[in-house]
A and B are shown apart, each in its own frame.
Chain A
Amino acid sequence: MFENFTDAFANVWSIDTVVVLFLGVAIGTVVGAIPGMTSVLGVALALPFTFTMSPVMGILLLLGIYKGGMYGGSIAAIIARAPGTPAASCTILDGAPMAQKGEARRALEMALYASCIADFISNLALIVFAGWLASLALAFGPAEYFTLIIFSLTVAAGVAGDDLLRGLASAALGLMVATIGLDLIYGTERMVFGITELMEGLNFVPVLIGLFAIPEILKQFTKRQSMAIEINPLAGKSVNFAEFRRCLKTIFRGSLIGVVLGAIPGIGGITAAFLSYSEAKRTSPNPEVFGTGEIEGVAAAESGNNGTAGATLIPLLALGIPGDVVTAVILGAFMIHGLRPGPIMFQENLDVILALFMAIMLSSLFLFVVGKICIRLFSRIAEIPAGILSPAILVLCVFGVYSVNNSTLDIFVMVAMGFAGYLMALMRLPPAPFLIAFVLGPPFEDAFRQSMLLSHGSPSAFFGSAVNWVFWILTILSLTMVARQRFSSAPMKRQSSVPETKQE
């Protein structure tokens, strides 16, 4: 054991390794900050370079990019209202309104603090609880996924805005778009219209960019005169200590949500961010300020998604199972070096694991340093007039969306979703429920049908384990809370929905 420690120590504390990790975090942050370009692209491009590095160094480069990308997404979300990475779409809800109020600096700083703390907690959880959390992942069969997703879907109600009906309509649209493609169980074509590219369904990134970034750009073109609002991140106030303390509870809660959801393969940062956001809103003394530029909303979203960044390595290292695309690329890097993540690796390559654990703690610190520098650099962007900035963002969006899968269809999807998003904005349909339904719809259906296959059609599958019951109880609690909040503010809501029915 001691030998392993000294080996690991020697592995990490070489100047090359530290530089590579720092470089990774910096590359990831920049890639994440560009709308449409995600950490997936970053790690895929960096993968061949790791072939010739030492295993620890190569994996740290990829991990750095992953972590940087997870944070970097918030920069574009706040400054340009475009989710830099899918997981940052929740950050837009309060980050973008803050920027419009001239409080971009506070939003960016809070996003950075929340990200670093959540990343640190997530790393700590990886090191201390990897074994225990891995067994949690093993307790998740299709039926458990199903109940987890049911619970997560109730979150959509939490971000529906002040009008539940509009929220549900938006979620229904999201579910509809999510059905495009081949169904998992029998491979039946749904709304494919003979286009081979559509068989896989619509990609995440073009839909997200279309939904959030494009309507904003369209809006700026339609009312250019009114867009003279100054967004200067370095003007404006910094986060003060009182604010930070107020958000600390939210950050810790978000980190924990991120850790648990990160440890379960395939759930990911988007769900964690929204769940954390919805919890913060529910427990807040003034939930009505969420969505209008509430700093706690930014803290909740960013702690939720960064909370997954260390925990996704739990199923990867302990079980050899990648939870998302980035960890799948990292798995590839392990294998190229003859390392097989999984239980065996903890016995045979403990020095590598320990080296990774040591270095990973360093990554939270690097994230802080890189973030501080980036906030300064990216603040320059905000000085560019909207008339020049908007087209530039549009170009970046097109480029980023294309780069995901080198598909021109994705660009069309983005544009189409952009107009759909613009129409939704005109009809005051909130985009967040659409997004949650789009993300969770397919796994919801898959998990349901897999469970039914396994139980030979008996619904008892959904009540078979303790995990199921936990999520059923959480679902009921969550729905009761929503109902209670709705009834207490019902008169106001009815008034607002009257003119809408006339339009339709």
Chain B
Amino acid sequence: MGIVVGSAAAEYPEKPVTLVAAFGPGGTSDVTTRVLAINAAPHLGQPVVVVNKAGAGGVVGANFVHSAAPDGYTILLGRVATHAVAPAVKNVPYKFDDFTFLGLIEKNPFVCVTSTDKPYKSLADVIAAAKASPGKLSFGSPGVGTLPHLMGVMILDEAGVSDAGKAAVHVPFKGEGKAVLAILAGKIDYMCANLAPTIGHIQAGRLRPLMTTMPERLSAIPDVPTSRELGYPKLEVAVGWSAIVGPPKMEEGATKKWAEVLQKLKDDKSWISMTKKLGSIPVVLSPEETKEFVTESYKTMDALVTKLDLRIK
């Protein structure tokens, strides 16, 4: 009997696996999920079906997987939003670490930009303006309680602007596209966003990049200083990421299989090239490293939210 159970577990997966995208069709998160699904399937030996469960900034999808059967057939593409920002900023029906972490797959670099029509030539100019006339500047984000929202405040706080939460006006937009449009139109002064939706405008000379948040400079915009170079290494937490996670206490056979799949994916040229084209950096971490990374990400957000009083009541 024991042998039968053992071999059954080793045979995972016996049927297609559902990979939940916590955001609606069309966003970076959705496309990343579909890219992962199509590239992981051959290594897994079964099709991977993407199902969108959008709502409440990813919380609906994450909660769905959290309460799914831990058989390994329902897993989630966890994001910085679902597992670090949302649990820190608002009440969510799950704990950020009450999941089975299968592996980090990528990081999404952030860049802080202003319009080239604005007088700010560097991050120092923005900070000086915020200090000179508090409450006058404005920054955009794709919604309240998102990473770009926290970043907009965190920059000022790190630079020693007093009462950073009120030093600049936060203007949330419905989605990244609208926020980028607002900064292109010069309606807002600065914004930190994913590299992907801004890079085209940076290269066209409409947006001026002020800072990136990866430890090294980005090859796409090599002239832009990193937050570390500018003396704000703490801002490096402001980086998007995606990780595969399952429901709590997921079956061991499934967990092992996914760790294997991710190790193969790491060298999969097709996946690497697609991920890079999406403006992301492929980074595959082991389950243990992933848990550490996510915990660190959550803790930093939580501390920041507490310090700046940004929690949504």
Contacts and interface: CB of A to CB of B under 8 A. Distances in A.
A265 interface: yes
B55 interface: yes
Interface stretch (A239-247, A358-366, A449-457): A449-457
B182 interface: yes
A340 B199 contact: yes
A142 B178 CA distance: 10
B284 interface: no
Given A200-B56, A336-B31, A406-B52, A138 B181 contact: yes
Nearest to B279: A335
Contacts of A323: 177
Contact of B144 (A47, A139, A184): A184
A227 B277 CA distance: 56
Interface residues of B, number: 56
22 contacts: A40-B25, A40-B26, A51-B34, A138-B185, A139-B185, A140-B185, A142-B171, A188-B312, A196-B59, A199-B56, A265-B178, A336-B35, A340-B199, A344-B200, A344-B204, A345-B200, A405-B24, A407-B60, A446-B173, A446-B174, A453-B169, A453-B170
Contact of A51 (B174, B274, B312): B274
A48 interface: yes
A200 B180 contact: no
Given A453-B138, A454-B138, A332 B30 contact: yes
A430 B187 CA distance: 38
Given A138-B185, A141-B185, 10 more contacts: A137-B181, A138-B184, A139-B185, A320-B197, A322-B177, A328-B25, A343-B200, A407-B55, A446-B174, A454-B138
B234 interface: no
A18 interface: no
A43 interface: yes
Interface of A: 40-41, 43-44, 47-48, 51, 137-142, 182, 184-188, 196-197, 199-200, 265-266, 315, 319-323, 325-329, 331-332, 335-338, 340-345, 405-407, 443, 446, 450, 453-454, 456
Nearest to A442: B174
Contact of B182 (A141, A188, A326, A335): A141
A187 B200 contact: no
Contacts, number: 160
A366 B298 CA distance: 51
A342 B25 contact: no
Interface string B168-211: 01111110011011101101100000001101110110100000
A342 B50 CA distance: 28
Contacts of B30: 44, 329, 332
B53 A343 contact: no
